[in-house]
Structure 1
Amino acid sequence: MLNDKLFPRDNPWAEEVGGVGMKTPHLQIRGLVYETHGRGGRTHLLDGISLEARGGEVLAVLATNESEGSCLLDALANRHARWGGRLRGDFIFNGNHTSPAKVAARSAYVQQDVNFCPDMSVRQTLLLHSFFRSSGDVTRVREVKARINGLINDLGLEQVCHTRVKDLTLSERRRLNVACHLLLETDVVLLDQPTRGMDIFDTFFLVEYLRQWACRGRIVILTIQPPTYEIFTMISRVALISTGRLMYFGRRREMLPYFAFIEYPCPAYKNPSDYYLDLVTLDDLSAEARLESSQRVEMLAETFRRRQEALSDPGPPLPLPPKVRKENLCLQLLGLWM
């Protein structure tokens, strides 16, 4: 699916430290808290979140409340101000203690809502997005055009490359949105519900493509609704969040053994992602159900807090990846005028 010539397997900015498998890029967040203030007092959208991901991994965030997953990605993309609260926590990128702004400057953020020009074609949209960040170098322009062609083919958009955006299906628009951000070739790609509204086949296709993209030495972090078991197996790490707290974080293959060990095994023939997200969801059907589910969630949160393994040693500070080229304001105005 992924074109090896246009998107080589070896990321030029990825390194292996000391030959011991400490690969970069390596992103950690430690003790992340996001506090909002309202009429009811302080609310923690995120409460003590600690997780990490390395190049080559897909980290899936499964949250009982969609705003929790979106808030986590907004924090990584330095767009948390829209939630109107206060952010605390440590961000460590390639061994460097850094800020959300520096992480965001080196990441691509694929948000749910995007405003494409409805009368432009798929190819024109991709060309315009690349044009806004163009350096003007002729050789670079040729490379970008080749990558655009590669993304169109790889993401199954070749049949609609001359179709106007307003005539695309939901799945095609979502894949176009992903393609626009993958053009940036960043080490970290953040995606908020990229498969929302897609059928199972298109979801499988896109997640598998993102897995292959990560295999080139990049980090992919996405929020997602509970996927099928087949799609679940494509994921490297899972962060399961409820009431702003981690119910589980770790490798996907260790998730079922962990819950079995604490006496919550997944029943046979059940989809693990569905089952465990239901397990940590507050039940509002009745007062009794609410009480029982809240007690269970509190117990699971406390159990994981006590059992969570420490994040890996970030190692010595290494160079950060290059920043994403900022959009050229003059070119944006020219594009709007045209």
Structure 2
Amino acid sequence: MIGSDYTLELCNVFHSGQVEPGSFFQRLTGDVKTGVILKDVSFLTHSGEVTAILGSKGSGKRALLDVISRRVSSKGHILLEGEPLEEEYFRSTCALVRHSSKLLPGLSVQQTLALSLTKISGYLKSSKVKQVMADLALSQVAHKCVTSLTKSEYRRLVIGVQLIRDPIVLLLDEPTWDLDPLNTYLVVSILSNAAKKYGTTIILTMEKPRSDVFPFLDRVVYLCLGDVVYAGPTRNLLDYFASIGFPCPQLENPLMYYLCLSTVDRRSRERFIESNQQIAALVEKFKLEGQAVMQGQLAEHGRIINPNKIQLNYGKAGGFRTIWMLYLRMLASIFNVKSHGIKQMAMRLLTLPIYFFILWIFYNESKDYQRAFVTRSGLIFNAMVGTYFISIMNTICLFAPYRTRYYQESQEGLYSGASLLLAWNLVSLPFSLLTSFAATAIIYPIVGDLSDTLGYVYCALVLWSSYVYAEQQAIAIMMFVKNGLVAAVVNIYITCIYVMLASGVLRSYRGYEEWLYYLTYLTHTRYASLLLHRHVFAAPAYSALPYSERENCTGGGIHTANANAHANDNCRYSSGKSFLAERFTAKNFAGDIYQMGDFNMDFNLGISFAFSLGIIVLNKVLYLMPLPGYITDKFRE
């Protein structure tokens, strides 16, 4: 149990890692340039204090946060109240706020905090939400969408998502980056007040500290290329550097002055060598003289620990509650009158019916002549392929924010990918079912009898299975591919392959070699296309269709012998059965196609849903697999 006063201590921490960016293949093979990033880092901080880690770009600030949060391996000791701070211990008591943390775009400020994953709920959580909003000066924008917030408000909200969980140690990566002076002052002052109010240890990184934040920083740590130039109380900063011969000039910002003193000057070779030597001397002086100061601080802060403080809010929520909160997040993001909610609702419910309405415009005037075999087959093909592609487009646009948030929150151990996908499917499946039935109702009068309710249900269900299959395929690809355009291209390319192979429209099965024919059995498209074609062309209306309004295929009527001969030459299919046999049977097939299990509608519908269910289960397994760090880091950057 952590006491009300506690100490976080780093002792002789070393960390090695990648020091230069590498290509994808270099990172995949491990052939990247590595080196020592942190060298013998030691400092301590207490509860209720704000510690700033200062240094120029490449000094090791972010690496130090990763080491403290146990996201990378290191040598040395990191102790929280005398206990080794391991990864699970950090997750259960502490928090890290990345500079690029992304929140779900469809939620308001209050919803974002209320739907955060904590152990508390009900009145306690509602009170905590109001308290955190007041502490972070967010009460006046409580009902504002997160996408409409200013940079400062957004950063404060990201911090609030962690503060509502009452962490013991809160790490922040550049919380004031790209903020104007007034908002920089506001954010740092709010963090200082929160540290004092909640007794939280706050450690933040800053690259360009301003003088007006000096009073809010209890401690500072200066890093240069992984070495510690100074680590101690801010109030001792001026005296320490003055004692070693570097007093701060009057009217200078001491934080920035000593940061420049700790930065390698790369403007010329001479300055580079001179600044390197100076920094090496500063590091050695701190090792000799700074350690005594740190030991004095330990004695100064020795207190009796109160063992009765309990962190009620922090920790991992139960599995069922986590899935329920993820489900509520998605519903809240969809069912609102803000632009993001309207866009989500339109994409989920309207895009497929609109596409099918366009198909209806093109195919509604087609007549029941011989060319109906081609036009109806083309309609089926366009309906099925359009369902695949629209599902892919919707999934890439709508799933991406939840995927990014998952990769960030999973690092905190809050939930697994399987929980995210279960919540997503609970939301997505009813919407896709509704839009599939609505879209099918638009074109069904062209391909079937309106009185045949069962046939309509079969067609709608097989298109629903196509939508779900393509959606889950896109989710699987998005596990590895961050860029939406690249993910769309990969999905469409894969879809085109099995559509060209197994639809039976672009190429007849009879033209395939035996191995290609059997390969079609491994695709969802084969079963969906067979069901739709079987339902349409098995109808009696497709027997003995005339060639045109003036020519038939039977040799009867008012036509002359020459005209009839010409008509018979152009009437390729005597019935729907002959069309199906040509398009969907193997070479040298002879027999009644309706005796084949391949043309059984119940069988094809069942296999279509088996494919969809199978890829749903596969995705849950995939999202439970550990991924290389360079892949998951892409989604957190």
CA contact (8 A) 1:110 1:177 kept: yes
Q: Is 2:324 the counterpart of 1:331?
A: yes
CA contact (8 A) 1:62 1:238 kept: yes
CA contact (8 A) 1:47 1:244 kept: yes
Distance verdict in 2 for CA 1:181–1:59, change over 3 Å: same
SS at match of 2:273: helix
| Residue in 1 that maps onto 2:86 | 99
CA contact (8 A) 1:171 1:197 kept: no
Q: Distance in 2 between matches of 1:89 and 1:101?
A: 18
SS at match of 1:268: coil
| Residue in 1 that maps onto 2:279 | 297
Aligned residues with identical type, % of pairs: 29
Task: State how 1:120-159 maps to structure 2 within 5 Å.
Answer: 120-129=107-116, 132-134=117-119, 140-159=121-140
The counterpart of 2:225, out of the listed 243, 249, 258, is 243
Q: Distance in 1 between matches of 2:119 and 2:71?
A: 24
CA contact (8 A) 2:93 2:315 kept: no
Q: How many residues align?
A: 308
| Residue in 2 that maps onto 1:49 | 41
| Counterpart AA for 2:82 | G
| Residue in 1 that maps onto 2:191 | 210
Higher RCO, 1 or 2 (CA under 8 Å, sep at least 6)? 1
Alignment TM-score, normalising by the size of structure 1: 0.83
Distance verdict in 2 for CA 1:233–1:315, change over 3 Å: closer
Q: Is 2:100 the counterpart of 1:118?
A: no
Alignment TM-score, normalising by the size of structure 2: 0.45
| Residue in 2 that maps onto 1:175 | 156
Q: Once the two structures are superposed, what CA deviation does each residue of 1:28-55 show, in whole Å capped at 9, x if it has no partner? A: 1101111126778651111100111111
Moved more, 40-49 or 318-327: 318-327
Q: Distance in 2 between matches of 1:108 and 1:44?
A: 25
The Cα shift of 1:27 comes to: 0.9
Q: Distance in 2 between matches of 1:270 and 1:315?
A: 36
CA contact (8 A) 1:58 1:211 kept: yes
Distance verdict in 2 for CA 1:315–1:159, change over 3 Å: closer
Distance verdict in 2 for CA 1:37–1:160, change over 3 Å: closer
The Cα shift of 1:109 comes to: 1.3
Distance verdict in 2 for CA 1:280–1:177, change over 3 Å: same
Distance verdict in 2 for CA 1:104–1:30, change over 3 Å: farther
SS at match of 2:74: strand
CA contact (8 A) 1:106 1:321 kept: no
Gaps of 5+ in 1: 1-11, 16-23, 81-85
Q: Distance in 1 between matches of 2:144 and 2:33?
A: 50
Distance verdict in 2 for CA 1:66–1:185, change over 3 Å: farther
C-alpha RMSD of the superposition: 2.5
| Counterpart AA for 1:331 | W
Q: Distance in 2 between matches of 1:253 and 1:265?
A: 14
Gaps of 5+ in 2: 20-30, 331-423, 428-637
Q: Is 2:186 the counterpart of 1:201?
A: no
Q: Distance in 2 between matches of 1:291 and 1:152?
A: 50
| Residue in 2 that maps onto 1:108 | 95
CA contact (8 A) 2:10 2:78 kept: yes
SS at match of 2:89: helix
Task: State how 1:254-293 maps to structure 2 within 5 Å.
Answer: 254-293=236-275
- Higher-Rg structure is 2
Moved more, 252-261 or 229-238: 229-238
Moved more, 31-40 or 279-288: 31-40
Moved more, 206-215 or 65-74: 65-74
Moved more, 284-293 or 29-38: 29-38
Distance verdict in 2 for CA 1:95–1:67, change over 3 Å: same
Q: Is 2:221 the counterpart of 1:221?
A: no
Q: Distance in 1 between matches of 2:45 and 2:178?
A: 27
